[in-house]
Amino acid sequence: MTVQNYSRTLLACSAALFLAIVPARAASGPAGSQFAAWREQPLISRSISLAQLATSQTIVLKGRNSTQEFFFPVPAGIPLQNAELHFAGHYLRGDGGRTNLLLAIDGTPISSRKLDSDAGDASQALAVGNTPRRNGFVQLRVNWASQLSEQICSNEQTPGNVLNIVPDTALRYQFNPDAITTVASAWQALPPRVTLLVSGAAMSRESYDSTWRIGVQLQQGGKKVQVASLPKVGSSIDLATVRVPDTLKGIPAFASISKGSGYYTLQNEAEVGALLALGELGPVHADVLLDEPALRQAIKEALDALEAQIRAASADAAEQFTLWRNKRFALPAGQDVAVTQFAGQPAILIAADKGRQAATLLTPPWQALARNLKLTVPVASDAMAEARGTLLDEFGPLSGSMDVLAQSERQVSFELHRLAGAGQLPQKLVLDLSAAPNASKEKPVVSVLFNDMLIGASHLQTSGTIQRIEVAIPPYLLQSRNTVTIRFTRQPSVPHCHDIPAAYPVSILPSSHIRLGKGELGDDFLGVSTRLSNGGTLLMSEALLASPRDSLPGLINIAFAAGISPQRTISQFAAAGQRPAVNGNFLAVGVIPAGTNPVAQFKGGQLLLSNQGPLLDVAELQDVAIAEVVSSGTQAGIIYHGSKQSLPALPAMAGRMPLLGKGNLAAIGPEGILLTIDRNDPTGEKLARDANPQSIWDRYWWAWSTLIGIIVLALLAARITQVRRRNKGDTQL
């Protein structure tokens, strides 16, 4: 059969299948057909950009040969559909020469372009295979090669030839939500920006406690959390966020919200149900739901009202709506953690009183065991908190092999509170590496950077055998969020003038890890956060319960920024004006614990520091809050309170939420951490002194030399005196 005949046969079969399906749907009318299509052929769209992966700055590749690797997370083990990687970048060629851009997906070269212009656009779309990724990542490798074209023996460095990789580089794909068959896969399929849906009404202590724990756990998993609630009758919605298919505009509820611009006030429950039914096409989304009775009842009433309206228009359409609702909007009851769908979108449903257990279950050690659609979790504890070391691969894909011609690197980032337990701090980086020889047997150099500071470097043996390198981590370099960079540099091997340089492999082995040890924790945000990561108390004002949608984002942000553990933290509520006692380390939000004396306070529209008068007039500022380290006896904690009742929600910086680090007094606003002060070391003198790498002997050599000189002179004088007396016949000596 020829290709043309095959195409005609396929077209005829498709047409016959379409004609067989259409009459059944046509009987239901356009609305029924729409709900039938949503039920039978669901597809979820995702877009993951470098800006969402903590890479907000333009990445520059330059030199003779540079390679950079990126890992885009995807649902592990689930087939992708219509997957494309949109590479965004531009280049400059001030030095001319031969320039090539090679792009590879999962190690397979996909695109190779010769760049001839002095400047140009390097953006392009790359096809990504639909094969399931068992490791949960799509790897993009960018190789930039630039050499001068003159066939002479000369310096071929090209500093004017660079490639700029823009953070808009993104992976776009679709997948079938029916492929989500476990809680673990649902967790991995969450988008970078997660919507946590709550009822919006005043919450109970148990529900509020569960919500902040889930929110912090999501942020610790690298997600940006948005707390949302269902719209109600009387709520105003932006119609620009609503896209109503033409097939549904015959239903009054859908027709009312299909104007396309301006704001609209919801008139009845059926219109609320219409917003829920639109799913991706509307403004109401949910990736994680807190299973509150009020939320469940509100969803039921809205969908029931919409169904009644559809039934009045067409009984057949109502039947299709019911089938769609039962499959794509089912909320299983009686489970602690369950996989569900919210208008066809995969979602996780968590019982309102099981936040602690759910947060523990979804941590990396136990996450792989969540292999059912529904789970009951009576007990879940963080049994791995006493580890003495952690593999670097736990924080991201670091280990593996790469070919290095001139320079290549890999890096991972981690939050300090994920490592620090029982007073332990990172002390050493232990790297297991191997390298192949090049043609001239020149040894490559490995450089180890911690938070962009070089802390160790070494030549690697080129026998291909594994060698271990241990590098001490200076305590003063530790931050709330830390980045480890391993950079390999080779001298391109050119034994003869016109030989073509070749790349040779190096490897980072999976056994590379961070070694922990006892460390001294200071009385600053970093020290208190480290203590809180091992357990403590979250003390909250009961006033927060009245408006959870307004207070939860700020509470989740500050709990994450303070490094508090959602698994090992005790929650405690206090009435307004009360100064409750608290045991152990704590984070107090909107409450001042007994026995503490905070320096900063809001009074009369001013931010006051004790005994120093007004520091800043905040009468015209909006949503300003103060975080301050305080102590009461042997207890240490952080007090967080705002100029108003609401708590400012921190914005993501470089794709990640900010963390409290150095200092013990911080001013925080909607723009992030505005100001940080260390009252104990305002000029940094102590830090400079503690960071001195010289040994005690080197630091005080003049004192030791003087003391030794005095001792030598004293011994010499004693000896001279002894000899003189002996010569005089004094036998008593």
Domain map (residue ranges) of the chain:
47-148, 180-375, 395-518, 534-685, 698-727
The answer to whether the beta carbons of residues 187 and 512 sit under 8 Å apart is no
**Cross-strand bridge partners of residue 516:** 426
Give CA–CA dist 638/588, Å, rounded: 6
Tokens of 461: 């043996």
How open is the CA angle 523-527-533, to the nearest 5 degrees? 140
**Higher pLDDT among residues 496 and 675, named by residue:** 675
The pLDDT score that the predictor gives to residue 380 is: 44
Q: Tell me the residue type at 487.
A: R
Q: Is the pLDDT of residue 528 over 80?
A: yes
Give CA–CA dist 84/201, Å, rounded: 41
**Could you say which DSSP state residue 444 is in?**
P
The pLDDT score that the predictor gives to residue 154 is: 52
**Higher pLDDT among residues 666 and 125, named by residue:** 125
> Which own/partner contact pairs does 319-324 have at CB distance under 8 Å and 24+ positions apart?
319/28, 319/32, 320/28, 320/31, 320/32, 320/33, 320/35, 320/36, 320/39, 321/31, 321/32, 321/35, 323/35, 323/36, 323/39, 324/35, 324/36, 324/38, 324/39
CATH of domain 47-148: 2.60.120.260
Question: Which runs of E-coded beta strand occur in 199-244?
Answer: 224-229, 236-238
Domain 47-148 identical in fold to domain 395-518: yes
Question: Which runs of E-coded beta strand occur in 504-561?
Answer: 504-508, 513-518, 536-541
**Reduced to 3 states, what is the DSSP secondary structure of residue 632?**
strand
Tokens of 219: 């942020």
pLDDT band at 307 (very low <50, low <70, confident <90, very high): very high
How open is the CA angle 196-197-200, to the nearest 5 degrees? 130
pLDDT in tens, 281-302: 889 999 999 988 889 999 999 9
Q: Which CATH superfamily is domain 395-518 in?
A: Galactose-binding domain-like (2.60.120.260)
Strands 569-574 and 536-541: parallel
**Cross-strand bridge partners of residue 112:** 102
Global pTM reads 0.77
The pLDDT score that the predictor gives to residue 420 is: 63
Q: Is the pLDDT of residue 610 over 70?
A: no
Determine which helix (DSSP H) or strand (DSSP E) holds 317, and give its type and residue range.
Answer: helix 315-328
Q: Tell me the residue type at 112.
A: S
Mean pLDDT confidence for 147-152: 57
Tokens of 414: 């981690």
How open is the CA angle 37-42-43, to the nearest 5 degrees? 135
The pLDDT score that the predictor gives to residue 712 is: 85
Contacts of 492 (CB under 8 A, 6+ apart): 64, 65, 405, 406, 501
pLDDT band at 434 (very low <50, low <70, confident <90, very high): very high
Question: Which runs of E-coded beta strand occur in 473-624?
Answer: 481-489, 504-508, 513-518, 536-541, 569-574, 586-589, 600-603, 606-609, 613-617
**Mean pLDDT of the chain, nearest integer:** 80
The pLDDT score that the predictor gives to residue 156 is: 53
Mean pLDDT confidence for 348-360: 85
Q: Is the pLDDT of residue 570 over 70?
A: yes
Determine which helix (DSSP H) or strand (DSSP E) holds 253, and give its type and residue range.
Answer: helix 252-256
**Reduced to 3 states, what is the DSSP secondary structure of residue 582?**
coil
The answer to whether the beta carbons of residues 431 and 410 sit under 8 Å apart is no
b/e map of 152-166 (b: 16 or more CB within 10 Å)?
Answer: eeeebebeebbbebb
The answer to whether the beta carbons of residues 173 and 82 sit under 8 Å apart is yes
Give CA–CA dist 395/413, Å, rounded: 6
Mean pLDDT confidence for 547-570: 86
Tokens of 391: 């593999």
Closest of 407, 443, 412, 417 to residue 429, by C-alpha = 412
Helix-, strand-, coil-residue percentages of the chain, each rounded to 5: 30, 30, 40
Contacts of 524 (CB under 8 A, 6+ apart): 629, 662, 663, 664, 678, 680
Contacts of 378 (CB under 8 A, 6+ apart): 357
Closest of 232, 236, 272 to residue 254, by C-alpha = 272
Contacts of 184 (CB under 8 A, 6+ apart): 367, 368, 369, 370, 371
Give CA–CA dist 129/105, Å, rounded: 9
**Higher pLDDT among residues 387 and 580, named by residue:** 580
Q: Is the pLDDT of residue 554 over 80?
A: yes
The answer to whether the beta carbons of residues 566 and 213 sit under 8 Å apart is yes
pLDDT band at 502 (very low <50, low <70, confident <90, very high): confident
Q: Is the pLDDT of residue 685 over 70?
A: no
Residue carrying the six token digits 């400012």: 648
Give CA–CA dist 580/164, Å, rounded: 55
The pLDDT score that the predictor gives to residue 435 is: 92
**Higher pLDDT among residues 707 and 432, named by residue:** 432
C-alpha separations of 416 from 413, 511, 532, 563, 631 in Å: 10, 20, 11, 8, 22
Q: Is the pLDDT of residue 593 over 50?
A: yes
Rounded-to-10 torsion of CA 230, 234, 240, 244: 70
Of 10-24, 152-166, 613-627, least confident by mean pLDDT is 10-24
Q: Is the pLDDT of residue 585 over 80?
A: yes
Mean pLDDT confidence for 708-730: 81
Q: Is the pLDDT of residue 381 over 70?
A: no
Determine which helix (DSSP H) or strand (DSSP E) holds 718, and give its type and residue range.
Answer: helix 701-727
